[in-house]
A and B are shown apart, each in its own frame.
Chain A
């Protein structure tokens, strides 16, 4: 695998991580190493093997539709970096 510097910048942008110019090359090396490591799986012959959707081959459990949570606004807001009354407050994002 070999990622272009432009792809590294794009991945960083999608992840909202600021990356300085001098960090691109080392990141490129590290990401490539990770991709190469995972790419070894490509060598396994999986002809005729169904995709596995989870660690255990079982179906999802369904819960009944009852209201049993919420009404904990103070706890929800407790870790917010900023708030305005009962709202979270964030830098203005407007389209």
Chain B
């Protein structure tokens, strides 16, 4: 049994599906030549088409179509050669046309699948129902002016992909994992930047509850949740609200709700009472979108290696654990960094340094992979010195710290600071002999059976050699001279 919520009447199961709105990365908007990027002075990225001026006609952007197809391919989904645009009619101050151009009956992408991973390592498939292209609306702001709402149409008409999942999600954790996985795939593909703070990715969360084994009950839709954490909270808060209703003998009413992040609860959006009466009809301004097999094949041939495939390859090619491979492929830039370090070197040693000291240094300094605290080439250079026994593992940590501070290459630091490992057996033997002579009492204890003292002798010898002794040679010498 997976995730359940306990009510007064027994256990409840959560049923959840997500509609993710992802802003397409493109130069210009879906149906106009105005700039699509986030930011810009208010209403400076608006054409007459976006502002809904009379007589203006939409012309579709080929790159937005390509981005939707790439995303569909990344979700292992069916690509529809024929799709069509419909008008979704509703009134809102930031929707100049009074309708949004969307795809209702014939979306560009059909069913697909995404694999998610849970905390305990379980893998689960979440079905994708469809992906369609649509226009974003403008942005309303309510704090800028005392008595008015103000509107910026820069975002109006920017291409969005709406990715609809099947109601396969059964817990807040699965909802979070699914959202993160979609974001990861979109970032790898370069079709959406996945930046939830700037609103370029947001989710509508559909939640219902049921007794195990039952059919679906009535669901509610929570609009515009803008972080992974809030999605997880919203699923749980809404499920608990519905359980309380059912258990009080009331009905759950199908409605649109808002997640109030300050209170951690959902509440009804009364303005959306008629929201489901969108009166869709085919947009008479737009002909059907017909794709050529050749175009799809060409876009497909240029897709990057996706995170699941990369992770499996890392395991096979570099012999690292599935867990480490997951960490190292979380972001494309991270995977590239690791591969630069690992290629032609001890790949497991590379994985342990990248996920260990390197990550720690990144976190400490708040650096990013575009501007890493130590370059991949320099970190590789350090690993070379460990692998060819120029320095030992302990000294390597010191050299790494020095690299962080000075930005110098490892071999230069080792040369100037004289950190080269001591492999001269006569020097090591001499150090061992003096340690044993200074600790005659402990030698006696050791010989009478106190085996644990072995580590003490090794430590003392290392200290005498300023940490630079070759660990294997030191061990061997201590063992030999203790007789």
Known: A16-B91, A54-B288, A66-B28. Is A88-B153 also a contact (CB below 8 A)? Answer: yes
Assess whether A14 is interfacial by the CB under 8 Å rule: yes
Q: Are B46 and A93 in contact (CB under 8 A)?
A: no
Query: Which residues on the B side are within 8 Å of A89 (C-beta)?
Result: 145, 148-151
Query: Which residues on the A side are within 8 Å of B274 (C-beta)?
Result: 10, 13-14
Q: Are A65 and B277 in contact (CB under 8 A)?
A: no
Query: Least Cβ distance of A54 to chain B in Å?
Result: 5
Which among A53, A54, A65 is the interface contact of B64 at CB below 8 angstroms? A65
- How distant is the Cα of A95 from the Cα of B268 in the complex, in angstroms? 10
Select from chain A the residue with minimum beta-carbon distance to B46.
Answer: A76
Assess whether B140 is interfacial by the CB under 8 Å rule: yes
Q: Are B277 and A84 in contact (CB under 8 A)?
A: no
Assess whether A59 is interfacial by the CB under 8 Å rule: yes
Select from chain B the residue with minimum beta-carbon distance to A71.
Answer: B44
Query: Least Cβ distance of A3 to chain B in Å?
Result: 15
Assess whether B436 is interfacial by the CB under 8 Å rule: no
Q: Are A73 and B279 in contact (CB under 8 A)?
A: no
Q: Are B151 and A92 in contact (CB under 8 A)?
A: no
Assess whether B290 is interfacial by the CB under 8 Å rule: yes
Select from chain B the residue with minimum beta-carbon distance to A56.
Answer: B287
State the main secondary structure of chain A at its contact with B.
loop
Q: Are A58 and B287 in contact (CB under 8 A)?
A: yes
Which among B34, B46, B279, B288 is the interface contact of A60 at CB below 8 angstroms? B288
State the main secondary structure of chain B at its contact with A.
loop
Q: Are A54 and B63 in contact (CB under 8 A)?
A: no
Query: Which residues on the A side are within 8 Å of B92 (C-beta)?
Result: 93
Query: Least Cβ distance of A6 to chain B in Å?
Result: 13
**How many residues of A are in contact with the other chain, CB < 8 A?**
39
Q: Are A91 and B149 in contact (CB under 8 A)?
A: yes
Q: Are B288 and A87 in contact (CB under 8 A)?
A: no
- How distant is the Cα of A54 from the Cα of B285 in the complex, in angstroms? 9
Q: Are B33 and A67 in contact (CB under 8 A)?
A: yes
- How distant is the Cα of A13 from the Cα of B316 in the complex, in angstroms? 62
The A25-48 residues at the B interface (CB cut-off 8 A) are: none
Query: Which residues on the B side are within 8 Å of A54 (C-beta)?
Result: 284, 286-288
Assess whether A69 is interfacial by the CB under 8 Å rule: yes
Query: Could you name 17 residue pairs across A and B whose Cβ atoms are closer than 8 Å?
Result: A14-B274, A53-B287, A54-B286, A61-B287, A63-B59, A63-B60, A63-B61, A65-B26, A67-B27, A70-B34, A70-B45, A73-B42, A87-B151, A91-B148, A91-B149, A92-B149, A95-B258
**Given A63-B62, A73-B43, 10 more contacts at CB 8 Å?**
A14-B279, A53-B84, A64-B62, A65-B26, A66-B27, A73-B46, A84-B148, A86-B43, A87-B42, A90-B93
Hey, which bits of chain B sit against chain A, CB under 8 A?
A: 26-28, 32-36, 41-49, 51, 59-65, 84, 89, 91-93, 140-142, 144-145, 147-153, 258, 269, 271, 274, 277, 279, 282, 284, 286-290
